[in-house]
Amino acid sequence: MKLIRMIIADLDGTLIKNSHVSEETMRAIKRLQEDGYVFTVATGRHVTAATSLIDQLQIEFPVLCSNGAYVGVPSKNKIIKEICIDETSVLDAVDMINRFGSDFLLYTTKRIVATKQAKEKLESRIGSIPAHVIDLNEIPDFISEGIVKLLIIETDPSKFQQMYRHFKDNKELSIVSSNKDFLDIGSQHSSKGNGLKELCKYLGIGLDEVIAVGDQENDISMLQVAGVGIAMGNASDTVKQAANFVTKSIDENGFSVAVERFLYHAQGKED
């Protein structure tokens, strides 16, 4: 196995559960940082909803937010890459989502924009978020800010699958599930995998020198391009199949288990 220089991990379901980072996970991260590894995160969250966690984890390197549509250093207001969905596609997507009657949030280049109900639904899953609350008919007023992602929250399995299939057929967009009942719509060019490529290019690190860890569909592209892709034990079968190795679940501190195995026990990659 190539010498590892960088570890990149998803947030929700990988490093954090119910807005909490375990002591074991924090110790593993601190050890990586003290030993000179590049440690960073890749999340579906908007940068404004990830900043407090990025600060808590004391990450100094660029991060990926909005599924790789944003690559940058929030603390320095530094943007390395930002990919927006074209406005026509956004308007078409909003129209379709409204036909289904689903709740959704707009992730603009500046902020999260959402109805009160959509904000509350997201917060019930990931904790408090900074969001600009508006009425549904005001949504078009914010599209000109540049949309990096639309987050759909749909608890009806039938509607969820219908929308997934509909947007999957649109070659201008990417669609992935980032959590139970969550559908993330982004530009066809944005993904955690592409964001990781951009980050590695910026840092001068080879993709084969990276370990990536995740648990949801939106992590698959990142697991596939990294030298070692690790799925959490709580990941779906699809994510596990895309990985080189499956670690323990988040309840069993799977991230720290993976770090110990691959970096401190010098064991190779498994199929």
Listed as ranges, residues in the chain with pLDDT below 50 are 267-271
The torsion angles phi and psi of 230, rounded to 5 degrees, stand at -120, 125
Nearest to 150 by CA among 87, 194, 198, 213: 87
Q: What is the pLDDT of residue 247?
A: 98
CATH number of this structure's domain 6-82+191-264, picked from the four choices 3.40.50.1000, 3.40.50.300, 3.30.300.30, 3.50.30.30 = 3.40.50.1000
Nearest to 51 by CA among 23, 83, 76: 76
What are 219-242's pLDDT values in tens digits? 999 999 999 999 999 999 999 999
Nearest to 8 by CA among 148, 209, 201, 247: 209
Domain coordinates in residue numbering, the chain: 6-82+191-264, 87-187
Q: What is the pLDDT of residue 268?
A: 42
Q: What is the pLDDT of residue 269?
A: 39
DSSP string covering 137-197 = GGGGGGGGG-EEEEEEE---HHHHHHHHHHHHT-TTEEEEEEETTEEEEEETT--HHHHHH
Nearest to 154 by CA among 165, 144, 163: 163
Q: What is the pLDDT of residue 266?
A: 53
Amino acid occupying residue 58: Q
pTM of the predicted protein model: 0.94
Amino acid occupying residue 239: V
* Residue 262 DSSP one-character state: I
Q: What is the pLDDT of residue 131?
A: 95
Q: Examine domains 6-82+191-264 and 87-187 and report if their fold is the same.
A: no
Q: What is the pLDDT of residue 270?
A: 40
CATH number of this structure's domain 87-187, picked from the four choices 3.30.1240.10, 3.40.50.300, 3.50.50.60, 1.10.3720.10 = 3.30.1240.10
Q: What is the pLDDT of residue 248?
A: 98
Q: 112-115: which pairs have CB atoms within 8 A and are 24 or more residues apart?
A: 112/46, 112/48, 112/49, 113/139, 113/142
Q: What is the pLDDT of residue 267?
A: 43
Distance CA 214, CA 81 (A): 22
Q: Which two tokens stand for residue 188?
A: 């066809």
